């Protein structure tokens, strides 16, 4: 049975459960459940604190985990990223009150409050900056106002939390993060059960980012049309009953679907349809 760690709370937990559900796995019914077995898929899910997941996986007791890239790096655990999942995207940045510091180099001698001590201490050491780090569990934006630190280092997505606290970012992002699948460093990623799990999640990612496009076009326009919809391998082209026309079917990126439909229409394609993909294996 494959043993998988899933975030039990916070920004990662809802989208992770949703993705697993879309991939056909049973998920817990109540947020208090800490462990469930999905016998049909031969998987056991452990609902753990996102911050602890890389540590459990590195111990080898759990085969796979879903966590954030920033949490993995901060933990220093012996685990590695094997698949990015595209949700809980964020940056990790320094911020302070306007006028305190203009660049990261100005942080020398200051105190930085953060929940990600591992990332911050390493970043400062790599840059050769001598600053102290104070660990806080969360809501670090308030630390400056309350005099615990001059600078914070925190997760930034929209920037609303920083703006509300009257803070501005300093320097470039320390790192970019998103939800990821982790595995113990050096563990056999080719194991069939692990591969099947990854293929299912990849299927969800593709189903979320692509749509199926169908249209009819004149044979003379086929090459131009196929250039607009090359598909993943190559589009399916079938003859129509009316001579001189073909039907084309190809997967296209969902974000570009409307533009592609306009371009296809402009070269004479008609009956252009897009449909959602519910699941796939590439
Ligand atoms: N506002 C946000 N937007 C996108 N991702 C976020 C956001 N806040 C946190 N994350 C990501 O979620 C992960 C942190 O998960 P965690 O559950 O520990 O924190 P949280 O979502 O802030 O919840 P908590 O309320 O427990 O602090 C990290 O990978 C982080 O980058
Ligand atoms: O840039 P934004 O869109 O505002 O998002 C970033 C904020 O979201 C998270 O906070 P959360 O609400 O999880 O609280 P926390 O600080 O207690 O973790 C994170 O720690 C930032 O504070
Ligand atoms: Mg948080």
Q: What residue segments make up the domains of the chain, in order of their start?
A: 2-87+179-189, 90-177, 211-276
Task: Say how far apart CA 204 and CA 23 lie, in whole Å.
Answer: 6
Identify the residue whose C-alpha is closest to ligand 1 atom 12. 11
Contacts of 60 (CB under 8 A, 6+ apart): 184, 187
For position 97, what pLDDT does the model report? 98
Query: Which segments of 149-256 does DSSP mark as H helices, in order?
Result: 160-164, 192-209, 222-228
Query: Rounded to the nearest whole angstrom, what is the distance from the C-alpha of residue 208 to the centroid of ligand 2?
Result: 26
Find out whether the beta carbon of 216 lies less than 6 Å from any atom of ligand 2: no
CA neighbor of 275 nearest in space, from 251, 248, 256, 259: 251
Name the closest ligand to CA 154.
Answer: 2
Ion ligand 3 residue ranges (Cβ < 5 Å): 138
Q: What are the pLDDT digits (tens) for 76-114?
A: 999 999 999 999 999 999 999 999 999 999 999 999 999
- Fold that domain 2-87+179-189 belongs to in CATH: D-Maltodextrin-Binding Protein; domain 2 (3.40.190)
**Domains 2-87+179-189 and 211-276 belong to one CATH topology:** no
Averaged confidence pLDDT in the chain: 97
**Architecture (CATH level 2) of domain 211-276:** 2-Layer Sandwich (3.30)
- Asked whether the predicted pLDDT for residue 282 surpasses 90, the reply is no
Query: Rounded to the nearest whole angstrom, what is the distance from the C-alpha of residue 10 to the centroid of ligand 3?
Result: 7
Find out whether the beta carbon of 156 lies less than 6 Å from any atom of ligand 2: yes
Q: What is the ipTM of this complex?
A: 0.95
- Fold that domain 90-177 belongs to in CATH: D-Maltodextrin-Binding Protein; domain 2 (3.40.190)
Q: What are the pLDDT digits (tens) for 143-185?
A: 999 999 999 999 999 999 999 999 999 999 999 999 999 999 9
Q: What are the pLDDT digits (tens) for 258-280?
A: 999 999 999 999 999 999 999 99
Q: What are the pLDDT digits (tens) for 24-54?
A: 999 999 999 999 999 999 999 999 999 999 9
Find out whether the beta carbon of 138 lies less than 6 Å from any atom of ligand 1: yes
Name the closest ligand to CA 10.
Answer: 1
Scanning the structure block, which residue is given the tokens 């997760």?
155
For position 267, what pLDDT does the model report? 98
Find out whether the beta carbon of 161 lies less than 6 Å from any atom of ligand 2: yes
Provide the 8-state DSSP code for 233: S
What ligand 1 atom has the least distance to the C-alpha of 71?
Answer: 29
Is residue 171 exposed (0-12), middle (13-18) or buried (19+ Cβ within 10 Å)? middle
Query: Rounded to the nearest whole angstrom, what is the distance from the C-alpha of residue 97 to the centroid of ligand 1?
Result: 23
- Asked whether the predicted pLDDT for residue 190 surpasses 90, the reply is no
């Amino acid at each position: 049975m494959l043993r998988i760690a899933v975030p039990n709370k916070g920004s990662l937990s809802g989208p992770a459960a949703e993705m697993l559900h879309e991939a056909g796995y049973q998920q817990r019914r109540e947020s208090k459940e800490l462990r469930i077995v999905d016998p049909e898929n031969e998987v056991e899910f452990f609902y753990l604190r996102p911050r602890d997941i890389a540590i459990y996986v590195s111990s080898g007791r759990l085969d796979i985990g879903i966590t954030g890239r920033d949490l993995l790096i901060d933990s220093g655990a012996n685990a590695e990223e094997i698949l990015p999942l595209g949700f809980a995207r964020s940056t990790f940045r320094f911020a302070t009150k306007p006028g305190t510091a203009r660049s990261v180099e100005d942080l020398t001698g200051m105190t930085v409050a953060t929940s990600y001590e591992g990332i911050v201490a390493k970043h400062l050491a790599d840059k050769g900056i001598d600053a102290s780090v104070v660990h806080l569990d969360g809501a670090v934006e308030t630390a400056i106002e309350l005099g615990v630190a001059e600078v914070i280092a925190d997760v930034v997505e929209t920037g609303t939390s920083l703006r509300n606290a009257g803070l501005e970012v300093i320097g470039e992002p320390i790192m970019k993060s998103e939800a990821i699948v982790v595995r113990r460093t050096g563990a056999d990623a080719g194991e069939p059960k692990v591969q099947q799990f990854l293929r299912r999640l990849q299927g969800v990612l593709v189903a979320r980012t692509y749509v199926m496009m169908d249209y009819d076009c004149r044979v003379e326009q086929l090459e131009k049309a196929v250039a607009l919809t090359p598909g993943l391998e190559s589009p399916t082209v079938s003859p129509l009953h009316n001579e001189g026309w073909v039907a084309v079917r190809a997967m296209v990126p969902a974000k570009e679907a409307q533009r592609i439909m306009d371009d296809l229409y402009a070269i004479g394609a008609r009956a252009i349809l897009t449909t959602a993909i519910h699941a796939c294996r590439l």
